[in-house]
Structure 1
Amino acid sequence: MKINVVAIAKPETDCYARLCDRFVKMSKRYAIVKPVDLFNGKITRAQESGEREARKLYGELLEPWIGRGFTIALDPAGREFESEAFAKLLLDRTEVTFLIGGAFGHGDDLLRRCDRVVSLSKLTMSHKIAKVVLFEQIYRALTINHGHPYHK
């Protein structure tokens, strides 16, 4: 199984990135987990121009990833899952791609084109924290699906 986590975010080397890397490494036993951060000067300029321009550019950058396996967009308005139900989303899939939008989130067109729209929490959290939570939940889901006691 291959899991892509594609984020509109600057690559980081801070403590949050190290936590993400830890969960990626632990997940190797069950799946190939590939983090991809997309960021460039165009994003900075689009975000300064406003929400509409930023979301348009996010969509363009994420376009090649839509349809790579089962595609899941993270969005605050998405459906929340308990860990066991989240694990079922990954079960029996050969490839899953998670899409994390930029500061202004995803546009409606992108959300409609995804197989699922998921919310990690009703709480607002920074991208860095959201990524850590997502990578931990991916690892947890993989252990649930493989009968490993980590999730207990």
Structure 2
Amino acid sequence: MWGKGCKYAGQSVRALPIRTLTVGKKRLPGVQLLVDEYIAKLKSYCHVDDVQIRSNPKNARNVMAQVHDEDIAVINLITSNDWVVMLDERGLDLSSEQLAELLGDAGNTAASRLSFCIGGPYGHGQRVRKRANVSIKLSSMVLNHQIALVVLMEQIYRSWTILKGQKYHH
């Protein structure tokens, strides 16, 4: 597991393309502006594909059906070659350095892409949970999907600056 510090800091790391898969309602303009800003910043490190998945795509009337439908929508966008990180309030609590190390470890696998999954209002379904290579949390508090995405994008950017030994982090 990921220890203190980052074993890859300042070393060459294979940069996997990143895809964020976020279940939720249409984003607020300010949130989209921040996401776009981090995607632009990340271009010098890796390609980022940001995918929005509509919450409750089939207008299910109960929570279990809604989670099931969202689960299928997410899992259909994940390939067998993806290295999947599920964001969940019960996931591992990582430091920024540990997230950087996770990016480095994923780059050392045979994966062709790193996919971060942010669930809808009722979380992830069983398919995504079983498919995830790792589950992490951004906070002990539950975060709205839009806030979680902004925090995730900033932390991915911070991770790359750690990996490259740049001054953004401390």
Tell me the TM-score normalised to structure 2 length: 0.81
Tell me what 2:89 maps to.
Answer: 76
Q: Select 1:58's aligned residue among 52, 67, 70.
A: 70
Identify unmatched segments of 5+ residues in structure 1: none
* Paired residues of 1:87 and 1:145 also in contact (CA < 8 A): yes
Alignment match, 1:97: 115
Indicate if the aligned counterparts of 2:96 and 2:158 stay in contact, CA closer than 8 A: yes
Q: Give 1:114 shift.
A: 0.7
Counting only pairs closer than 5 Å after superposition, residues 127-138 of structure 1 correspond to structure 2 as 127-138=145-156
What amino acid sits opposite 1:25 in the alignment?
A
Q: Is the 8 A contact 1:80 1:119 kept in 2?
A: yes
The question of whether the paired residues in 2 share the 8 Å contact of 1:55 and 1:104 is answered with yes
Q: Scaled by the length of structure 1, what TM-score is found?
A: 0.90
- Offset of 1:68 from its aligned partner? 4.2
Select between 57-66 and 24-33 the one with higher mean Cα deviation. 57-66
2:19, 2:51 within 8 Å by CA — same for their partners in 1? yes
Secondary structure of 2:69's match? Answer: helix
Aligned partner (choices 8, 22, 29) of residue 7 of structure 1: 22
Give me the CA root mean square deviation. Answer: 1.7
Q: Is the 8 A contact 1:65 1:97 kept in 2?
A: no
- 1:83 positional shift: 0.4
User: Which amino acid in 2 is paired with 1:16?
Assistant: V
Q: Distance in 2 between matches of 1:68 and 1:76?
A: 25
Deviates more, 1:131-140 or 1:2-11: 2-11
Q: Identity of counterpart residues, as a percentage?
A: 30
The match for 1:45 is: 59
Which one of the candidate residues 137, 144, 169 is aligned to 1:126?
A: 144
Q: Number of residues paired by the alignment?
A: 149
Q: Shift of residue 44 of structure 1? A: 6.2
Aligned partners of 2:27 and 2:146 also within 8 Å: no
Q: CA offset at residue 54 of structure 1?
A: 1.1
Residue 10 of structure 1 and its aligned partner are, at CA, apart by: 3.2
Contact 2:84-2:134 within 8 A present in 1 as well: yes
- Equivalents in 1 of 2:164, 2:125: separation in Å? 35
Amino acid at match of 1:43: P
| Larger fraction in helix | 1
